[in-house]
């Protein structure tokens, strides 16, 4: 079975949590929307781009979720790869009590993705004490400012310990890595003692750790923001990391290892820009 056949169905990643993304061979980024279910209700997290809407909605239906059961949409920042299909999803849910959650700073941006008469559905997470309970299941929201948006936050499912991290722990999927991409990442033993990311001892075409580090150097604005975000993640002690790009990380040793590497990462975002005197020299 090739990957296109394997990823044409929703995939259960933890109890009541399904990956509903659209795998695209050769794509620069693999995007990972997730739907969380509880007692006949559902919440969609980072629902995806407009071009992925049909594939994402098909997987939601295959997961035996009626769109009318979706009670909330969570958008952890306002980029179009997360929010592009917002208007389509709102229309198909046909739920007048639907909530659309974002951080306070991004609520105004989300209004550009939706019809004006539906803009009242958009609410800031701080107005709900940074958590949302549905069907007896609680999702907690934790601020990670400037990682990578100014009002960025991550979402913790208390029932399973799954942490939906938006762009944190993401990675690129272009080139050779797009052929090796898997929904679940398990680091080979060689990764934990490796000191040369250019020569993968595990025989990978592209080092998965280097790919994650390079993604954060490019996407995160600075090391201070990334280090702060990692301190939040470490404090939460998640059992699983479910990023919006890249692969799910389900092993505790891998999670701790990557937190450590990302906390100590240098030349992140603007930190990698030479100072004027360095350029002159």
User: Cα–Cα distance between 39 and 16 in angstroms, integer?
Assistant: 10
Name which of 89, 80, 87 is nearest 57 in CA terms: 89
Compute and round to an integer the Cα radius of gyration of the chain: 19
Q: What pLDDT is stored for residue 207 in this prediction?
A: 84
- Pairwise CA distance, residues 141 & 175, whole Å: 34
* Residue 154, both tokens: 């991550």
**DSSP calls for 134-197:** ETTEEEEEEE-TTSSSTT-EEEEETTTTEEE-TTTT-----THHHHH--SEE---GGGGG---T
- The vertex-168 CA angle with 46 and 265, nearest 5°, equals 165
Environment class of 17 (CB within 10 Å of its CB; exposed 0-12, middle 13-18, buried 19+):
buried
Domain boundaries, the chain: 3-139, 176-272
- Per DSSP, what are the bridge partners of residue 157? 139, 162
* Rounded (5°) CA angle 237-207-12: 50
The per-residue pLDDT for range 192-239, each reduced to its tens digit, is: 988 777 777 777 777 889 989 999 999 999 999 999 999 999 999 999
Write down the CATH superfamily of domain 3-139.
Ribonuclease Z/Hydroxyacylglutathione hydrolase-like (3.60.15.10)
The CA distances from residue 209 to 136, 181, 236, 270, in Å, are: 37, 13, 22, 21
Q: Is the C-alpha dihedral spanning 160, 157, 244, 266 positive or negative? A: negative
Residue pair 75/86 in contact (Cβ under 8 Å)? The answer is yes
Given a contact cutoff of 8 angstroms between Cβ atoms, the answer to whether 214 and 227 are in contact is no
Contact by Cβ (8 Å): 121, 90: yes
Task: Enumerate residue ranges in the chain where pLDDT < 70.
Answer: 1-5, 174-179, 276-281
pTM for the structure as a whole: 0.93
Residue-level pLDDT at 1: 41
Looking at residue 5, its pLDDT comes to: 58
- Residue 24's pLDDT is 79
What does the pLDDT read at residue 89? 96
DSSP-H helix ranges across the chain: 3-6, 53-62, 80-83, 86-93, 107-110, 176-180, 208-219, 223-236, 252-263, 276-280
């Amino acid at each position: 079975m090739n990957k296109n056949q394997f990823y044409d169905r929703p995939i259960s990643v933890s109890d009541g949590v399904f990956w509903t993304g659209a795998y695209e061979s050769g794509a620069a980024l693999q995007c990972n929307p997730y739907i969380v279910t509880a007692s006949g209700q559902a919440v969609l997290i980072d629902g995806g781009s407009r071009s992925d809407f049909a594939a994402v909605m098909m997987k939601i239906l295959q997961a035996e979720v009626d769109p009318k059961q979706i009670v909330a949409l969570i958008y952890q920042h306002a980029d179009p790869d997360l929010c592009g299909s917002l208007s389509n999803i709102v229309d198909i849910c046909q739920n007048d009590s639907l909530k659309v959650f974002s951080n306070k700073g991004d609520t105004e941006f989300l209004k550009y993705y939706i019809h004006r008469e539906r803009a009242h559905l958009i609410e800031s997470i701080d107005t709900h004490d940074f958590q949302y309970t549905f069907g007896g299941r609680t999702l907690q929201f934790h601020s990670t400012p400037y990682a990578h948006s100014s009002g960025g936050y991550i979402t913790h499912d208390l029932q399973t310990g799954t942490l939906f991290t938006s762009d944190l722990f993401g990675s690129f999927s272009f080139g050779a890595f797009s052929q090796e991409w898997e929904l679940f990442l398990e680091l080979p033993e060689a990764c934990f003692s490796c000191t040369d990311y250019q020569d993968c001892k595990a025989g990978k075409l592209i080092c998965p750790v280097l790919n994650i580090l390079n993604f954060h150097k490019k996407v995160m604005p600075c090391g201070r923001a990334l280090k702060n975000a990692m301190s939040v993640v470490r404090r939460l002690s998640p059992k699983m990391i479910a990023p919006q790009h890249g692969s799910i990380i389900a092993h505790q040793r891998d999670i701790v290892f990557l937190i450590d590497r990302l906390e100590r990462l240098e030349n992140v975002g603007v930190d990698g820009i030479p100072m004027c005197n360095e350029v002159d020299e």
